[in-house]
Every structure is written in C-alpha cells, then in structure tokens.
Structure 1
Amino acid sequence: MSASVTPANRNPGFGILMVDDEASFLRSLSMVLERRGGYNHLYRCQDSRDALAMIAREPIGLVLLDLTMPHVPGEELLKQITEQHPGVGVIIISGLNQVEKAVHCIRLGAFDYFVKTTEEDRLIEGVRRAVEMQEMRLENQAMRRKFLTDTLERPEVFSPIITRDKGMRSVFQYLESVAPSGQPVLVSGESGVGKELIAHAIHELSNRPGRLVCVNVAGLDDNVFADTLFGHSRGAFTGADQARVGMVEQAGEGTLFLDEIGDLSMASQVKLLRLLQEGEYYPLGSDKPKRIRARVVVATHRDLEQKQLAGEFRKDLYYRLRIHQVEIPSLRERKGDIPLLLDHFLAEAATELSKSKPTVPKELAVLLDNYSFPGNVRELRALAYDAMSQHRTGVLSMDSFRRALDQNSISRDVTSEPSIAFFSPDQPLPTLQEMADMLVDEAMRRSQGNQSIASSLLGISQPALSKRLKKKADDSSS
C-alpha cells in the first residue's frame, strides 16, 4: 500500500488484496481501481503462497484473485480463503472465459467472476457492489455489538446534541457503526430537529482529513446547483472572468453536506446521481473530469419515498442515497428532552443577553409537555430566547410561552388526523355528561392538576373549569 495513504483517508476502510503472478497486471489493476473506482486501500501479492499470511496480517476485506498461478492455484486458494476467512469476499479475475469454471467458483464462495479482457466499467461496478456488501456486513456486526452492550465509543462527538432519549441514543450508535463507510448517509426528520448537528457528528466520527462543507440546495435552479457544486472554468459563460472552485472540490477529502435534498429539480437530481455513481464531475466549461473525494451526507424534511412513488424524485437516486439512512425523532416523540433543552437554551440566552439565569416555574414544564412543537427544537429555542429577552429578575414569567402556545395549538399533533373509530360499535355511547367528565379528568391528569393549563387544553376558561370540577365533586358526594 502507498505510504501516502493514511488511516484517515483510506477507501474503503478495509483493504483490497490483489493476487496475481503477473506484476504488470497488478500495476494496471491498481491504477484502474484508484483512478476509476477511487479506491486507495490496496495491497498486492504476486506469490499466491503469501496470500493467506497477508490476509491474516492486514485488514483485508476483499480479494481480487487470479485462477491460473504457479505454486497455489487460484481455485485452491479460493477454498482456503472461504474456509479460514469466511468474512473476506473474493472476486475472481481470470484470463479464462469459461462459464463452467465461473459457476464452479461461485459455488465455492466467490462473490463474482470477471474475465481480464472484460470492459473496465463492468469490473469497477462489480468491485463497487462487493465493497458495499462488505461495508454493510461490517456495519451490521458493529451495530449488533453496540446495541448488545448499549455503549458509545465516542460520546464526546454527540455532546452538542442535548438529549437523554433512548431513540436518539440508538441514532448515535447507528452513526458510529456507519461512520467508517464512504457511502452516502440520508438524514431525514422534520424541520428543526437538528439534522445539521447530525451531519457534523457524522463528519467528526469519520475522521476524514478534509473539512465539512454545507450547502442548502433548496431553491437552487439547475445551473446554479451545478455551478455551486462543481464550479466553473474561466470563460464558461458570460461574466465568468475567473475560474470558480465548486463545493465538491472545497470539501476535498472531507464531507459534503447537502441540506433540503428533497427540493432538488429533476435535472439536478440527474447530476447528483452521476456524481454518486461515477464518482466524477465536470466543472462548467471544462471537458476534464474531476473525482469526488468527499463523503456525501444529505438531509431532508420531506418524505422521499412518497416523492419517488409520485414521480417527483428519481427512484435510482433515492435508493443510492438511502444506503445508510437515519430518522431523527421529533421533539414531541422525545418529550423527556424538553426540560434539558429548556435549561440549556435559557442558560445560553442568559449568557448572550448578560442576564442571570432565572428560576423556572414548575408549571412551565407541564405546559410545554402538552404542546406538540411543530417547529421542534428550533421552536423551543426561539421560545426560550424570547422569554429570556423579556425577563427581569426572579422567577421566569410564563406569559410569553402562553401567548405563543395558544389554545388551538396546545396538545394538537399537526400530523394527526381524526379517527372515525373513536367508539366501539358493540358498546353503547356515553352520555354527553359522561364524555365531559372524561375530558375533564384527562385534562387534569395531563396538566398534573394545574387548572390553568387544563382549561387551555379543553378550550374553556379557568372559571368554567373550576365550576365543572366543583359540580362534579358535589355530585360525587351526594
């Protein structure tokens, strides 16, 4: 392997071992894999007797094996690899174009079979498929270990994300498992859940030597999208007096984060698909291709599966992006984080506004717990900053929160739809009085006995609720 290839920029994370007795073929195959495939974590073995020792010594995950070799024939070496190292994939690259031999090798455990004179495109695509399968296998193993032990190897990476939610912890464990992969990651979730923080965490976990470059692609037309990502050469169009380096090149060997990917036009989707599939792009006005070295992370608040079913998002691009996919839960799905986040944002706002951090009334936690937060963490932050800007001394006032969380929004899930099966057809309907009592009881339970909050949940005034509670108590005692 080249001395210039450091652990941080190896692609793939495991080694690819080429075994062939012809030194010239090993050199040409290395060049093809590096230039066409972008793979640089390569090992060469010219003597088949040394292959097993190299597999045991080096982090080999895939072997490209010739069949016709002196000393240990390729077919025998294939048997030994599959028996002694069952986790290592093997692709046969032979000078023999024999169907029976190919079928026999596949039965022995080879992943694929290629003839040396075959087009480079087929070979590169075959290696890509094998690499992706190996990466997924290794990631699944890593995920099983993490979930069984419930551990995080690098918890400090996630420290900017304030949470104690089990669902978020599972997200973190998954991200640690897929971090070494060079494949794209699709981050989905509602607006305001913190998808950019997740992109930062992925970049930190991957230990890539380049930087994180973020691009919001929403609203970019096809030409602007291409110019932003790929750049242009001097004179590419009217006004292009100087060459411009695109975001792909700026990311270098780091991470390219494309936010709001669900808003891309169909024409831009084609360009992104080519970038991911071929690993190449052309700056505007240039006929010389450049290779992408960065890992791609994309994010969206839209349902890409529904968009591709509706013909609004390319199916091939969708499946290319979702090799690794993570869904960030909304704030209403992790309400246990609300007190933590509120405390964090109030402290942050107090520092920024040069004020003392206030005492938070207990009723505020109950009020926020009964709110659906359509704007998620971003909305809670805005509420905390607004309240802090109006705060003077002592206990934090709930007035600004009450104004923002109006009666129509409290305890309403913006994505929910009314159910027509609210009552069982086999049971008699409750009376209006019984239903009213049930609603009052549930509102008092959710508000933890706070009549002000309970009346907001019910959409009635506090005196009206107090009157109902008194009447219910009188009826019970009589």
Structure 2
Amino acid sequence: MMPYPEHPILLVDDEEPWLHSFALTLRQRGGINNVLKSSDSREVLPLLRNQVVDTVVIDLTMPHISGEELLEQISHEFPEIPVIVITGMNQLDVAVSCMKAGAFDFFIKTAERERLIAGVKRAIEFNSLKLENQRLRSKMLATRSRHAAFEEIVTDDPAMFKLLDYLEAVSPSRHPVLICGESGTGKELIARAVHQLSCPEQPLVAVNVAGLDDDMFADTLFGHVAGAFTGASSKRFGMVEQAANGTLFLDEIGDLSLHSQVKLLRLVQEREFLPVGSDKVKRSQARIVCATNVDLEQKIKDGRFRADLYYRLATHQVVVPPLRERRADLPLLVNYFVDQASVDLAKPRPAVKKELITLLHCYHFPGNVRELQAMIYDVLSRYHSGVLPLDGFREKILSTPSGGITELVEEMVFPEHLPSLQEMSRLLVEEAMSRAQGNQRTAAALLGISQQALSKRLKKMSPS
C-alpha cells in the first residue's frame, strides 16, 4: 500500500496510549497510514529539522515544552507546516490564542473521532495543494523540457506546451485530474501521460462509463461478492481494485447518471467504496483521472451533474484545444500519421506535397486529430506509390457536413442591401483563393467546382 500522505504526519502527546489509539484510528478510519509518533515534546524540533513532515498534531498540555510553546516554535521555524492543537479541556480563550499563534485547527480530545480525522485530512489536503502550487510556479519558470511521458503527443503549439507543463507540475499529486475537450482531441493520450508521470510502474485501468446504467456502473467499478445477485456465483474484483495504487481513468464522465455520481463522489471524497452485496467498506489508493467532451458547468445548471462532484474532480483541470486552434501542428501530425500508417498498412512511405497542408489548413476538422488520422489511413490504404494524392482528402472534406466554404457562409452577416450574385461569386472566389494561399486546385475543391471552372472565373475577374 502506498503511504498516505506522501510525507508523514507527526503526532505529539505525552500520553502514549492515546498516541497509539489515535494512530490506529487514522489508519483504519481515515486511510492515513504514514504516521510518526513522539511522546516527548523535546524531540519535535530536532525531528522536523531532519525529516520532511506533512502535518503536526500536538497536545496542549505536556511536560518539558508545552503545546503552546511548541506551536510558537514550529510556526516560527517551519511556517509551512500545518499544526493542529488538541487539548483535553474546552477553553475558548486558549483556542483563540492558539489560532492567533498560527495553529491550523483546534480540537477537544473528547470530540468525535470523525471530526478529528476530518481535521487532519483538511490539513493534509491544504498542505498538498500548497506544495503543488509551489511546484507549478517553479516548473513554469524552469526551462521547458519534454518528459518521456509525452512522446505520443505530437505538438509544437504553445498552448499545448503550457498544458503539458501544468500536468508535469501537478503529477506528484494524488488529487483527481479532469480532462476536457472535444471528441478526437486526444484526451486519452493526456490521461496516459498523467499516469506515466505519476505512477508508471502501477496499473492503468480505463473505463468508458457512457452507457453504463447504475447497476452496471457499480458492478464494473466496485465489483461484487458471491451471491450478490442472480448469476453472481463467485466474487468479482471491480476496476477500482484492479487499479490498486495506479490510475483509474473514467472516460465520458459527463454521461454518468445522478445516482452513479453519488457513488463516485464517495470514492473521490472518502477514497472508500462498497462492492455490490457487501457491507465491508474497502479503501482505494488509485488516482482518478476523468475525461469529458461535454460542458459540465452547463450540466450543473441544468441539474444533470452534481456540483460537489465536479469541484472534486476538477481539482486539476485541463482543456485540450481543438485542432482548428492549433493548425500549426498540421505538418507535424500529417507526417506522424503518414509514417504510422505506412508501417501499419505495409505501404511505401509517400511524399507529402505542400498543397495537402494548404488544403487541410482550410478545413475546420469537426473530428479533430482523430479525424485527421482516419483521413490519412483511408487515403493511404488506396495509395500505390509516389505522392500522397490530394483527391482523397478533397472528397472527405467536401462530403463532410458544413465542410469547405459553407463554414464561411454560415458566419457571414449580410448587409441590408444584398450584393448581386456576381458580386457574391467574386467574394467567394477571392476568399477561397486566400484560404488556399493562391493554389487553384485547393481553392476549386473548397468551392466544389472543377479547376477549369475556377480558372475561367478568375480570368473573367481579372482586369482586361
């Protein structure tokens, strides 16, 4: 089992039975298994000077160095460490004094253990987010370097580089990552990169939750015990347990029903789940990565997605830009997929003409990178030798709804006085030639006419 938190928390109390009891409670009921204990307050500062500690929990009344004195010393020398003060007496003035001295929180020993555990978890999460922000700032200031985890992500786009830098900076975190973006933008590649950055030696388990009803969702993720339902003749481990200390990737999270969202919230928030038919709570150490192509904030407004789940999942959030916003990547992607398809299809590697890149620059790619990949595989499957033919790409573009020049027409705002058909024809030809960078074959494809027909129009338009 991986240690949680990453760095240990330190419990300080001269009552050793309480130390052992609370450490056991943190492990069993809070999943906090990385704990140091000290019954002598004089040991604390030397220990903190030699050991990275996440959070310190100190008793107020101790011999040698009192809790108040120790709080003051820790706050002065290690202001970055959250300190929780626990006392056996309910003294409001002491609580106020401790909070002013820098305590993260203050609890009475006789309070319910659940409240104490929740307080420790808040301190751990607070410290974790603070450290992640520090890592992020230092990473953004550092010289950009491409991690091996990003090998499959082909880009030279500044926005994509910022996205990858961000993922690298937050990779040590245990918090969820939410990947948003249109279909075909490469969200699964991003999820794999997050896994490679975080825990490459551990399993990556991917689940597409779209189409799973509530029962299937629970059984798929959490598994079941023997006899849980008709046909459940043996125990089945769910995807959460299969992910173990690795990564659980949930794709199409926006399609999850509200009932299933409640079950997922418990897993994300408490790191706990119940196999179907069992009353024994299990704990999960897997990092959760989710992806969606829908607007979750709009779904929250429509009452179809839980806000509390969204804010938990979006602790770290990235939006993968569509291909039309990173057109400079087209030459890289075309050559990458041509190389890939040539090997997969056992075809000689064709030459790629500049006109093809120009043609693709004019297209808005509703299916994004995945559509480009499919286009290249389809054209290459019919290719024999020489140059990669443009005709196959023209056919694909013109057969796509709202492909080519129709996108321009949809965006146009007509004046009150309508231009004549002749004027409109001239404007369309000029726009097509501009988009095609002067290439008549490409412009003709955008207009849906032959190159000869376009040539005649251009001659008519030219000054005599």
TM-score range, shorter chain: over 0.9
**d(CA) in 2 for partners of 1:175 and 1:158?**
10
2:351 aligns with 359
Runs of 5+ unmatched residues, structure 2: none
2:46 aligns with 53
Structure 1 residue 373 displacement after superposition:
1.1
1:351-430 mapped onto 2 (5 Å cutoff): 351-406=343-398, 408-410=402-404, 418=411
Structure 1 residue 406 displacement after superposition:
0.7
Matched, 1:261 2:253: yes
Q: Please tell me the residue identity of whatever aligns with 2:455.
A: S
Report the CA distance shift for 1:431/1:417 in structure 2 as closer, same or farther (over 3 A): closer
**d(CA) in 2 for partners of 1:446 and 1:112?**
62
1:249 aligns with 241
2:70 aligns with 77
Q: Per-residue CA shift, 1:344-395, capped at 9, x if unaligned?
A: 1111111112111000121100111111111111111111111111010111
Matched, 1:319 2:311: yes
Q: Per-residue CA shift, 1:185-232, capped at 9, x if unaligned?
A: 111111111111111111111126531111111000000110111111
1:319-338 mapped onto 2 (5 Å cutoff): 319-338=311-330
Q: Find 2:84's aligned residue among 63, 82, 91.
A: 91
Q: Find 1:451's aligned residue among 420, 440, 461.
A: 440
Matched, 1:194 2:186: yes
Structure 1 residue 438 displacement after superposition:
5.3
CA contact (8 A) 1:208 1:253 kept: no
Structure 1 residue 273 displacement after superposition:
0.8
CA contact (8 A) 1:208 1:255 kept: no
Task: Name whichever of 86-95 and 463-472 sits farther off.
Answer: 463-472
Structure 1 residue 51 displacement after superposition:
1.4
Q: Secondary structure at 1:256's aligned position in 2?
A: strand
Q: Please tell me the residue identity of whatever aligns with 2:352.
A: V
Q: Secondary structure at 2:184's aligned position in 1?
A: coil
Q: Secondary structure at 1:160's aligned position in 2?
A: coil
Structure 1 residue 440 displacement after superposition:
4.0
Report the CA distance shift for 1:90/1:377 in structure 2 as closer, same or farther (over 3 A): same
Report the CA distance shift for 1:86/1:458 in structure 2 as closer, same or farther (over 3 A): farther
**d(CA) in 1 for partners of 2:199 and 2:18?**
33
Structure 1 residue 325 displacement after superposition:
0.9
Q: Per-residue CA shift, 1:389-417, capped at 9, x if unaligned?
A: 10101111112111111174126769x97
Structure 1 residue 178 displacement after superposition:
1.5
**d(CA) in 2 for partners of 1:464 and 1:41?**
75
The number of residues matched between the two structures is: 462
Task: Name whichever of 57-66 and 451-460 sits farther off.
Answer: 451-460
Runs of 5+ unmatched residues, structure 1: none
Report the CA distance shift for 1:433/1:412 in structure 2 as closer, same or farther (over 3 A): closer
2:462 aligns with 473
Matched, 1:36 2:29: yes
**d(CA) in 1 for partners of 2:59 and 2:77?**
19
1:234 aligns with 226
CA-based RMSD: 2.4
**d(CA) in 2 for partners of 1:33 and 1:151?**
40
Matched, 1:289 2:278: no
Q: Per-residue CA shift, 1:155-212, capped at 9, x if unaligned?
A: 1111111112111111111111211111111111111111111111111111265311
CA contact (8 A) 2:30 2:117 kept: yes
2:340 aligns with 348
Among all aligned residue pairs of Structure 1 and Structure 2, give the percentage whose two residues are the same amino acid.
Answer: 54
1:129 aligns with 122
CA contact (8 A) 1:371 1:412 kept: no
**d(CA) in 2 for partners of 1:156 and 1:124?**
38
CA contact (8 A) 1:213 1:255 kept: yes
Provide the TM-score with structure 2 as the length reference: 0.93
Q: Secondary structure at 1:405's aligned position in 2?
A: helix
Provide the TM-score with structure 1 as the length reference: 0.90
CA contact (8 A) 1:65 1:91 kept: yes
CA contact (8 A) 1:106 1:113 kept: yes
Q: Please tell me the residue identity of whatever aligns with 1:221.
A: D
Report the CA distance shift for 1:12/1:438 in structure 2 as closer, same or farther (over 3 A): farther
Q: Secondary structure at 1:60's aligned position in 2?
A: coil
Structure 1 residue 436 displacement after superposition:
5.8
Q: Secondary structure at 1:449's aligned position in 2?
A: coil
Structure 1 residue 465 displacement after superposition:
3.5
Q: Please tell me the residue identity of whatever aligns with 1:189.
A: G
Q: Secondary structure at 2:331's aligned position in 1?
A: helix
Q: Per-residue CA shift, 1:316-364, capped at 9, x if unaligned?
A: 1111111111111111111122211111111111111211100012110
Q: Please tell me the residue identity of whatever aligns with 2:302.
A: A
